[in-house]
Structure 1
Amino acid sequence: MRIKKIFNNNVILSESEHNQEIVVMGRGLAFQKKAGDEVEEEKIEKTFVIHSESTANKLSELLKDIPFLHLEVSNDIIELAQEKLSCQLNETVYLSLTDHIHFALTRFKEGLIIKNPLLWEVKKFYKDEHAVALLALDLIEERTGIRLPEDESASIALHLFNARQDSSGMEETMEMTNIVNSVVNIVNYHYGISFDEESINYNRFITHLRYFAYRMLRGELEHDEEENSLYEQVKNQYPAADECTKKVQKYLQKEYNVKMTKDELSYFIIHIHRVSNREKNK
């Protein structure tokens, strides 16, 4: 195995016997080495395949500015996630998660603690990813000595969810996108407004909507129809959002034969009220 490109003293780009680019990690692996030199295989600690030249280039840029330890920790979290979630994660997660962990640790050391407004929703709707993210916080503390706040678990969980893929990933993603766009259009037309796509309320709504579509397409929606005091409260408190939610429900029933639970209706009403109220107040 020969060195194709050196990222830093600990990380190189090489090539497998099947001519696939692979990132190879190990302490001192590239020390006093140059492209074309043989890799000292006894120093190899971890490897992973890179399918995209763009990803390799971005990783190269990222590794100029971050400690090797942060890449190691990120890689360990990704391996843990793939095991616990029984899925393959998109290779771009090596970039996004490593960058996030580095940024989170840097902010923490500087005394900048940022609250994640999506924590509650992530815990509710991304349960599997959040469970792994809590283990990730343990791993980060074990490796760095820093205990990041629970809010960071929500960010890590979202990175993991966004990186999930399987054999039907592209088709499923396209269908999810169609559902999200259709529901957003229903809300737009109902209120006669266009949304600020940079607003936190809009992103909360899209996050919820994407995960709802994901669970719906996989038949993972709950079918619990017990009394729900929250639903009764919000539909009376936000009648316009309730009326809009009924249009969404009608669309999903017609196109996908899906009946929304009162829990889901409640969350849709709350999100639609938030996102529409912000725009109207502008």
Structure 2
Amino acid sequence: MRIRKILNNGSVIVNNKEGAEMIVLGKGIAYGKKIGDEIDRTKIYKVFTAFNNQEKKLLLQTIHETEPIFFQIAQKIVDRLKKEENIELADSVYLTLTDHLATSVERGKKGLYLNNNFLWEIQNYYPKEYHYGLWALKLLNDQFKLKFPEDEAGFIAVHIISGELGNDINDFRQSVNFIKEITKLVRFYFDLDLDCQSLSYNRFVLHLKFFWKYMMYGQKSHGFGDLSKEILAVIKNSDVAAYECALEIKKFIHQNYSYNLSNEEVMYLAIHINKITTETRNQK
């Protein structure tokens, strides 16, 4: 790949074999180089391709206004998610994460730290993403000698969640509110204080996250598998209350999201509700 334009020491514009324009980032990738020179591929840590004019404008603006270290930290986060969780973040999320890191550090150097109003929800509904947020938080604190509170780990987790959903941060807020409303319905219906740390509760929340994605975007991966044994167990236990609670959830979803749950989806909810309520009662 030969350099067509140098943006700064860490970024250049090149063309691939098909002639398509690419923006390439790499530590010192343009240092001592001139237009027409080959780039050192071993220095590349990020390549942007297939962007429209608006995306290119945003990308160039972010490159010009942001120190390379923040792109590198964002890439470390992205690389670890890909390696350990097989999560691929869209380029748009990579950019917003980079911008967020730069803005947060700028505030942190002035002693200005933000409260995260969704911190409890992130910790309890998205523990995996929060775990990586804490790891990224340590990277920032070590790199810049700052003392970010855990709220910042929550903000970083939101960008990861948005990347998983494939949409913007507003979509994350909507998914969190959906999970909160459904779990609240279960709490009020049974007048139980559910254990947010229990395995059955976490499985229920995980199911709601996947269901939200399926319901809103029609993801093909939604499936239930063979439920015959689970359904039989619920019938044997005669847990009519779990089924009736699932029907209340069906009404709520239909009224608020114009989505009609199938009989199988209702039964699957009943199975989860049966498990979390039974586990909660057994602990008392």
Distance 2:120 2:10 in 1: 38
1:50 pairs with 2:22: no
Superposition deviation, residue 98 in structure 1: 0.3
Superposition deviation, residue 122 in structure 1: 0.7
On the 8 A contact 2:74/2:98 being kept in 1, the answer is yes
On the 8 A contact 2:2/2:37 being kept in 1, the answer is yes
Q: Report what 2:14 is aligned to.
A: 14
Q: Report what 1:247 is aligned to.
A: 251
Distance 2:263 2:80 in 1: 40
Matched residue SS, 2:154: helix
On the 8 A contact 2:115/2:151 being kept in 1, the answer is yes
Distance 1:129 1:211 in 2: 12
Matched residue SS, 1:80: helix
Matches within 5 A, 1:141-156: 141-156=141-156
Q: Report what 2:138 is aligned to.
A: 138
Distance 1:58 1:116 in 2: 26
Relative to structure 1, is the Cα distance of residues 161 and 202 closer, same or farther in structure 2, using a 3 angstrom cutoff? closer
Superposition deviation, residue 43 in structure 1: 7.3
> What code does the residue aligned with 2:86 have?
S
1:205 pairs with 2:177: yes
Relative to structure 1, is the Cα distance of residues 130 and 202 closer, same or farther in structure 2, using a 3 angstrom cutoff? closer
Relative to structure 1, is the Cα distance of residues 158 and 46 closer, same or farther in structure 2, using a 3 angstrom cutoff? same
Distance 1:91 1:77 in 2: 13
On the 8 A contact 1:137/1:147 being kept in 2, the answer is no
Relative to structure 1, is the Cα distance of residues 164 and 6 closer, same or farther in structure 2, using a 3 angstrom cutoff? farther
> How much is the aligned-residue C-alpha RMSD, in angstroms?
4.2
Superposition deviation, residue 117 in structure 1: 0.8
Superposition deviation, residue 102 in structure 1: 0.8
> What code does the residue aligned with 1:5 have?
K
Superposition deviation, residue 120 in structure 1: 0.7
TM-score norm. by structure 2 comes to: 0.61
Q: Report what 1:161 is aligned to.
A: 161
Matched residue SS, 2:149: coil
Structure 1: tracts of 5 or more residues without a match: 174-197, 226-234, 236-242, 267-282
Superposition deviation, residue 47 in structure 1: 3.2
On the 8 A contact 1:133/1:156 being kept in 2, the answer is yes
Distance 2:223 2:145 in 1: 41
Matches within 5 A, 1:168-183: none
Superposition deviation, residue 76 in structure 1: 1.2
Among all aligned residue pairs of Structure 1 and Structure 2, give the percentage whose two residues are the same amino acid: 24
Relative to structure 1, is the Cα distance of residues 22 and 151 closer, same or farther in structure 2, using a 3 angstrom cutoff? same
Q: Report what 1:62 is aligned to.
A: 62
On the 8 A contact 2:46/2:75 being kept in 1, the answer is no
Q: Report what 2:209 is aligned to.
A: 214
Question: Which moves more between the two structures, 22-31 or 104-113?
Answer: 22-31
Distance 2:78 2:50 in 1: 17
TM-score norm. by structure 1 comes to: 0.62
Residues 89-111 of structure 1, C-alpha deviations (whole Å, 9 max, x = no match): 21212211001111111111112
Q: 1:259 aligns with which of 245, 249, 269?
A: 269
Matched residue SS, 1:159: helix
Distance 1:214 1:252 in 2: 15
Matches within 5 A, 1:65-144: 65-144=65-144
Distance 1:52 1:208 in 2: 36
> What code does the residue aligned with 1:72 have?
Q
Residues 167-211 of structure 1, C-alpha deviations (whole Å, 9 max, x = no match): xx7xxx8xxxxxxxxxxxxxxxxxxxxxxxx9xx97852575797
Superposition deviation, residue 73 in structure 1: 0.8
Q: Report what 1:176 is aligned to.
A: none
Distance 1:149 1:24 in 2: 33
Matched residue SS, 1:114: coil
Aligned pairs, how many?
A: 220
Q: Report what 1:38 is aligned to.
A: 37
Distance 2:11 2:123 in 1: 35
Relative to structure 1, is the Cα distance of residues 144 and 244 closer, same or farther in structure 2, using a 3 angstrom cutoff? same
